[in-house]
Amino acid sequence: MHIKVLGVFFLFSNLVLAQVDEAAYHEMVPKYILTLWENKGAANNAEFQIEELDELKSFLHELSKRKNHIASPKFLTKPTYNTMVGHYLALKLKWNSFNGPHVGLKRLKPSKVIGKALNNLPSKRELLAHYYLSISSDILNKQKPMDLRSLNIDFNALNLINDTEKAILFLCLMRHMGGQVRSYSLTRFPDNCFRAKTYVENMPLFNGKEFFQFELPKFEDFKIEVDKRYPKMSFKERYLPEFEQAKLGYKKCLSNEKG
């Protein structure tokens, strides 16, 4: 096992200086993720005790907890490039584990999955979106019932450098929170509106506002992998409707309540 991992490491080392959006990941990132995967969550080698991996380790550990604080400012703050790349590699390994005849994709060896991913790393915007989508999915799966009202997501305090990055965070959170609101608002309308209202009352605030009051900034579109079986698609076309439909559905519930 040690010889195999070492050999793969040399392969990754040859890729590490490749520039992606003028950024480079630390050479230990892919080796750490591969070791973590092949040892079922254990990667305590001395070589991994470096500062460049601390944030990635903390994020992956928090995601693994049944009860966690993944929606806290600590994890909503824009991560380092090392963390985004490490998370993406872990995500690709997870996707690969579900491959087989039923999806029409061959399951590859973990080392090959990582090698292919490193040869074709996404833009930093797509990497950031995948990071926030994992947080969004985790919130949906573990916040039952939703209980984040005490959280105010301040987009100016999360190291997000422009409106596009702020929109990425918001729309990724709306992917699941907004989807839940939309479902409650539109299914068996208006009988389920009370469920939508309860859910929204326990959602976080966004710059001090309810989600349907939040002013989404104009942002630049980019391509993102949504389904591994198909080509990448527009981020805006995929995730903006989740927000718009949730907003329209909830406002319909509010109007019905006033009527």
Stretch among 8-12, 137-141, 231-235, 248-252 having the lowest mean pLDDT: 8-12
Q: What is the mean pLDDT of the chain?
A: 91
| Share of the chain residues as helix, strand and coil, in percent rounded to the nearest 5 | 60, 5, 35
Residue 199 to residue 149: CA distance in whole angstroms: 10
- pLDDT at site 17: 42
User: Is the Cβ–Cβ distance between 189 and 252 less than 8 Å?
Assistant: yes
233-234 and 223-224 beta bridge pairing = antiparallel
User: What are the tens digits of pLDDT across the range 138-171?
Assistant: 999 998 888 999 999 999 999 999 999 999 999 9
User: What are the tens digits of pLDDT across the range 112-131?
Assistant: 999 999 999 999 999 999 99
DSSP, collapsed to helix, strand or coil, labels residue 102 as coil
Residue 150 to residue 172: CA distance in whole angstroms: 20
User: What are the tens digits of pLDDT across the range 5-17?
Assistant: 444 444 454 444 4
User: Does the pLDDT at position 79 exceed 50?
Assistant: yes
| HSE (side-chain half, CA atoms, 13 Å) at 160 | 25
Distance of CA 143 to the CA centre of its chain: 16
User: Is the Cβ–Cβ distance between 93 and 110 less than 8 Å?
Assistant: yes
User: Does the pLDDT at position 33 exceed 50?
Assistant: yes
Q: What are the structural domain ranges in the chain?
A: 1-121, 123-259
Q: Give 257's pLDDT tier (boundaries 50, 70, 90).
A: confident
pTM exceeds 0.95 for this model? no
- pLDDT at site 259: 59
- pLDDT at site 104: 86
- Give the chain's length: 259
Q: For residue 40, which amino acid is it?
A: K
User: What are the tens digits of pLDDT across the range 172-194?
Assistant: 999 999 999 999 998 889 999 99
Q: What interhelical angle do 2-13 and 110-119 show, nearest 10?
A: 10
